[in-house]
């Protein structure tokens, strides 16, 4: 029966922690998160602690639970304000069962845990040390209070070590779960960015260009909007590589990428499609406006001084082909080919 209670309590604790961390991993809760998010974090954590009270672990004639673990984690990740909110909800939930020595002791326990956690997590100690101190103080406080409430040595010999072991296990696995999920999500986000971003220029790569372009084609057909495409090629770029080397050529490509980002609109899609070829997708843009923008880009590049690693200054020019769905072509699928031919 004891094993069953332990498994139920810990399974519930870790399942909720896993789900919460998974669904908030894109924008994880931190001490610098908006106050509204941290308040909600504290509120939900307090409610969850109350739920854990209902899944208590029976040891002899006594019961224990892990209601303190969510409060420690709230203080760890959210800071003082959400931790205090969680604490208040736990105290309120415990007093719903009545006012007696046990409820007063439970209130003292959660207050001590909250205050110690807030204090410890504001120190410069390592995260592991902070967690160890918070859980250890929690265990010591519980041991003192339960020894006062239940002065039966035979029961305490089993109850206190059991509480310590389960408490440490709960905290360690909870932190491991949170870190594992957050790290996995961070790596996933990194892979997503790397799979769609050109490593040299930071622009969209050709894979991202194809995805966005095909999606936009569907939209412009449905909405009957104008979609323009600029196809940009660096003139005689092979000569730059042959003369100065590929590393210097990379500097030129990177700088050109910056120029394109700075001379286009914030919502235009700028990509490096390979080598010295770049594209700019102009959303809801007629041909006349696309021609104006292409000239602005051409002039900006022509007037720009490109400095190599040796601080030698060189000049480059670009050729730009312009095509517009609805004006230069009525076939959206041929937009890329038309822009390339216009070079």
What are the pLDDT digits (tens) for 284-302? 889 999 999 999 999 999 9
pLDDT number for residue 26: 75
Domain 206-341 has CATH 3.30.70.270: yes
Query: Is the torsion defined by CA of 211, 215, 221, 226 positive or negative?
Result: negative
List, for the chain, all residue ranges whose pLDDT scores fall below the cut of 70. Answer: 1-2, 58-62, 222
Give yes or no for a contact between 297 and 232, defined as CB atoms under 8 angstroms apart.
yes
Q: Find the helix packing angle between 101-120 and 80-95, rounded to 10°.
A: 170
User: What is the Cα–Cα distance from 300 to 302, expressed in whole angstroms?
Assistant: 5
Give pLDDT, residue 2.
Answer: 65
61: helix, strand or coil: coil
The span from the CA of 2 to the CA of 59, in Å, is 6
Domain map (residue ranges) of the chain = 2-195, 206-341
Instruction: State how far the Cα of 325 lies from the Cα of 341, in Å rounded to an integer.
Output: 15
CATH fold, domain 2-195, is Arp2/3 complex 21 kDa subunit ARPC3 (1.10.1760)
Number of H helices, E strands in the chain: 12, 8
On whether the pTM is more than 0.95, the answer is no
For 5-47, the three-class secondary structure string (H helix, E strand, C coil) is HHHHHHHHHHHHHHHHHHHCCCCCCCCCCCHHHHHHHHHHHHH
Distance CA 279, CA 194 (A): 19
d(CA 144, CA 131): 20
* C-alpha 158 chain-centroid distance: 43
- pLDDT of amino acid 9: 78
What is the number of residues in the chain? 343
Q: Identify the DSSP state of 27.
A: S
- Extract the tokens encoding 309: 């690693």
Among 269, 272, 294, 300, smallest CA distance to 284 is for 269
pLDDT of residue 46: 92
Tokens of 220: 């412009």
Which run of H or of E encompasses 94?
Answer: helix 80-95
Query: Which residues on adjacent β-strands are paired with residue 278?
Result: 232, 272
């Amino acid at each position: 029966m004891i094993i069953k209670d332990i498994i139920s309590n810990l399974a519930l604790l870790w399942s909720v922690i896993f789900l919460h961390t998974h669904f908030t991993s894109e924008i994880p809760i931190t001490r610098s998160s908006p106050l509204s998010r941290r308040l909600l974090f504290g509120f939900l954590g307090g409610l969850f602690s109350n739920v854990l009270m209902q899944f208590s672990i029976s040891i002899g004639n006594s019961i224990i639970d892990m209601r303190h673990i969510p409060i420690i984690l709230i203080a760890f990740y959210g800071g003082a304000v959400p931790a205090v909110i969680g604490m208040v909800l736990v105290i309120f939930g415990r007093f719903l069962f009545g006012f007696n020595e046990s409820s007063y002791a439970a209130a003292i326990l959660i207050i001590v845990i909250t205050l110690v956690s807030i204090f410890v997590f504001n120190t410069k100690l390592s995260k592991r040390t902070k967690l160890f101190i918070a859980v250890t103080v929690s265990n010591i406080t519980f041991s003192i209070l339960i020894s006062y409430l239940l002065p039966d040595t035979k029961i305490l010999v089993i109850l206190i070590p059991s509480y310590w072991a389960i408490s440490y296990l709960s905290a360690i696995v909870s932190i491991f779960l949170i870190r594992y999920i957050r790290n996995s999500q961070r790596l996933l986000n990194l892979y997503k960015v790397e799979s769609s971003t050109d490593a040299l220029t930071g622009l969209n790569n050709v894979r991202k260009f194809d995805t966005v372009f095909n999606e936009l084609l569907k939209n412009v057909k449905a909405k009957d909007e104008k979609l323009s495409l600029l196809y940009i090629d660096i003139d005689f770029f092979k000569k730059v590589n042959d003369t100065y080397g590929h590393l210097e050529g990379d500097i030129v490509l990177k700088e050109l990428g910056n120029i394109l980002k700075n001379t286009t609109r914030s919502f235009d899609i700028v990509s490096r499609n390979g080598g010295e070829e770049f594209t700019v997708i102009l959303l809801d843009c007629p041909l006349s406006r696309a021609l104006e923008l292409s000239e602005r880009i051409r002039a900006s590049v022509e007037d720009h001084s490109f400095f190599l690693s040796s601080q030698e200054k060189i000049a480059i020019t670009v050729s730009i082909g312009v095509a517009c769905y609805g004006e230069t072509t009525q076939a959206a699928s041929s937009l890329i080919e038309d822009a390339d031919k216009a070079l």
